[in-house]
Amino acid sequence: MATGEMSLRSAEAVAGNAPDRVLVERCQKGDPQAFARLVGLHEGMVFNLAARLIGDAEEAKDVAQDVFLQVYRTLGRFEGRSSLKTWIYRIVVNQCHNRHRFWRRRKKDCSRPLDELTPADQARLVAGDRGQPSPYDEVRRRERSGRVQAALLSLGFDHRAILLLREVEELSCETIAATLGIPEGTVKSRLARAREALRVRLLACLEEGDRA
Amino acid sequence: MTCTRVRAQLSSYLDGDLSPAASGALSAHLETCPACARHLESLRAALGMLADLPRISPSEGIAARVFDRLEVETRGPGLAMVFRSFGARRPLIFPSLVTAGLLVVTVLLGSVALDRAWRSLDEPLPPVAGAWGATTPASGTEANPLFPSADVGLPRARPGGPVAQDILAQMGEGTLFLETVVARDGSVSAVTLLTGDRLFAQPVVDALRRQKFEPVRLRGRPVAVSVYRLFSRMDVRSPMT
Q: What is the ipTM of this complex?
A: 0.78
Alpha carbon A40 to chain centroid, angstroms: 16
- Beta-carbon contacts of B182 under 8 Å, excluding residues fewer than 6 positions away, are B145, B155, B188, B189, B213, B216, B224, B225, B226, B227
pLDDT for residue A16? 46
Per the prediction, chain B carries an average pLDDT of: 79
Higher pLDDT, A14 or B116: B116
Q: Is B5 in the A-facing interface, judged by CB distances under 8 Å?
A: no
Q: Which value, to the nearest 10 degrees, does the dihedral of the CA atoms of residues A116, A117, A120, A121 take?
A: -130
- Are A65 and B66 inside 8 Å of each other by CB? yes
- Average pLDDT score over residue span B207-214: 86
pTM: 0.56
Q: First vs last Cα of chain B: how many Å apart? A: 145
Percent of chain B with pLDDT over 70: 73
**Segment among A32-36, A39-43, B133-137, B229-233 with least mean pLDDT:** B133-137
* pLDDT category of residue B120 using cuts at 50, 70 and 90: low
Higher pLDDT, A65 or B57: A65
pLDDT for residue A50? 93
pLDDT for residue A152? 92
How far, in Å, CA of A49 to CA of A91, rounded? Answer: 11
Q: Report in angstroms the alpha-carbon separations of A13 from A79, A84, A172, B203.
A: 10, 9, 14, 117
Residue B164's closest CA among B202, B135, B200, B207?
B207
Give the dihedral sign, CA A99/A104/A108/A109: positive
* Beta carbon pairs, A and B, within 8 Å: 122
Q: Which of residues 73-132 of A touch B (CB under 8 A)?
A: 114, 118, 120-121, 124-128
* Count of beta carbons in the 10 Å neighbourhood of residue A179: 29
- Beta-carbon contacts of B229 under 8 Å, excluding residues fewer than 6 positions away, are B177, B178, B179, B180
Q: Is A168 in the B-facing interface, judged by CB distances under 8 Å?
A: yes
**Segment among B146-150, B166-170, B198-202, B216-220 with least mean pLDDT:** B166-170
Cβ atoms of residues B174 and B148 within 8 Å = no
Q: Which of residues 8-27 of B touch A (CB under 8 A)?
A: 8, 10-12, 15, 17
Chain B residue nearest residue A165, CA to CA: B51
Q: What is the DSSP letter of B211?
A: -
Q: Which residues in chain A are closer than 8 Å to B69, comparing Cβ atoms?
A: 65, 69
Residues in chain A, pLDDT under 50:
1-16, 116-121, 127-130
- From B10, B11, B46, residue closest to A202, measured CB to CB: B46
Coil, strand or helix at B14: helix
Q: Is B25 exposed, middle or buried (0-12, 13-18, 19+ CB in 10 A)?
A: middle
Chain B residue nearest residue A68, CA to CA: B66
* Count of beta carbons in the 10 Å neighbourhood of residue A180: 21
Q: Which of residues 188-207 of A touch B (CB under 8 A)?
A: 188, 191-192, 195-196, 198-199, 202-203, 205-206
